[in-house]
Structure 1
Amino acid sequence: MKKKNRKIKRLSVFPGFGLSLGFTMLYISLLVLLPLSMIFFYTSMMSWSEFWETIVEPRVVESYKLSFGASFIAACINAIFGVIIAWVLVRYQFPGKKLIDGLVDLPFALPTAVAGIALTTLYAENGWLGQFFSFKIAFTPIGITIALIFIGLPFVVRMVQPVLQNFETELEEASAILGANRLQTFLKVIFPELLPAIITGFALAFARALGEYGSVIFIAGNMPMKTEITPLIIMTKLEQYDYTGATSIAVVMLIMSFIILLFINGMQWWSNKKFMQ
């Protein structure tokens, strides 16, 4: 029996744990850890005073506020409407459903610069939609948020959609039989199942928005202290051959993003643990 098990083990398609782990660590090191380590390496060439002066410069601080604030608002909006879109695509049948389902992935395929130009044309003061608003959208934080919503929506929809597809409708029927109304059924039965996927989609949309550059620079207007995002400042410093200045700001963004994503992952772990009890 032991010989048979050993033979099956040798004929397995997948390599052993040690070899798989080795390939995994090598792949992650080459594509993730090594590039990130170079950011810290270039930053270490600066003195602490130079590093501090660079990252707390008023223009840079304002870009932090705009980038993190707009990314957070966009991710929150996507978390709400992404669930609604996923619900409609899973629960209802209607003409053009497959077309709409395909359009959800359009921000993935569309070049970000094209998206930025299209949104700017649409929401400019003389644009197709912008002319009907009494307030300015393009070249303001509102326009930046709209661009970030556009590029982040697919993450939430595609995370929630499979969960809804695999959800057992019998649980909803049992809830209705026990006397629960639609709102109670959603909050007590459906939402706990969707929450981990919603949090994951929110985290992905937030991370994507935080590093977005191409679709934002056209609609932002790039006015210092007003509509200048942090990735633009990093690109500006790179164009000026200020590599240490660019990497120092990138380090701050990296650390802050890691802390926020770690907190979000902690919330996801807590929600899984709580609703599985």
Structure 2
Amino acid sequence: MLSRFNYSRLSPNSFWTKTSIYKTISESDFINYNWQSKNTLNNNTIMNIPDNLSEFWSDVYRSQSLSTMSIRITPYIISLINWNDPYNCPIRKQFPPVKSTIESDHPLLKLDSLNEQTDSPVDGLIHRYNDKVLFLTTSICPVYCRFCTRSYSIGKNTESVNKKKFIPGKSRYEKIYDYIEKHEEIEDVVISGGDTYMLPAHTLFELGKRLLSIEHIRRIRFATKGLSVMPMKIFSDNSWFQSLVQLNNLARDQFKSIAIHTHINHPNEITYITKNAAEKLYKANIHVRN
């Protein structure tokens, strides 16, 4: 049973300073998305923290030859992991895998577990349901989840997987727009990847504007784990936020809708930073669904 949410987590506090490598980091740095991006940890750098868990990190290291996902974790998420008990922490369990918990593969296991590529008429577009499509804009995310259902594409190659990359680009996108325009039954576009958080502001705007110009498109949903793993981008990357606001206003003028679909898995991911980001989206009349 899920415990009640601890609302004291929404009060401003320097929670990140409890993690040794961030104990001297100021709030102004920590809540800046540029600092978060620059200091995101990967397969090599994550082994540096913290220095009193050699057995745990050895377990993580031994998992790498079997893992389908490379490691990429923001300082925000690192600071929310319970390093006193990383094996049982619900946030840690979503990210760096450990060899000791890896089970043998099921005989019917497929890398494309949702069979997406079977329903892909154009590279980077999934059309499984009559009136809906999934638009894969990129192959990168602010973090890489160990349970990713799109591990055939997302992140860097691993020892066990050579990835099929979806590179952002006008020529690839145009083929997708062309397909959507020719299929008037399509009303709903989920823009994902990867993660739309990683698209530059101008790309985000042009992509959304182009889709809104298609008469039969009624809804656009931007899929992102951003509010979970790097919420500070909403209020520290003004150009990206303003692109989203402009798209939302453009959609409303056409009686269409835009929403953010995020992916928060556990209440411990929510802090006052999440609250500030969500409030800014709310004040801009941008719908958020989890």
Q: Could you state the TM-score of these two structures normalised by the residue count of structure 1?
A: 0.25
Give the strand-richer structure, 1 or 2.
2
- Look at both structures and tell me which one has the larger radius of gyration over its CA atoms: 1
Q: Could you state the TM-score of these two structures normalised by the residue count of structure 2?
A: 0.24
Higher RCO, Cα 8 Å, sep 6+: 1
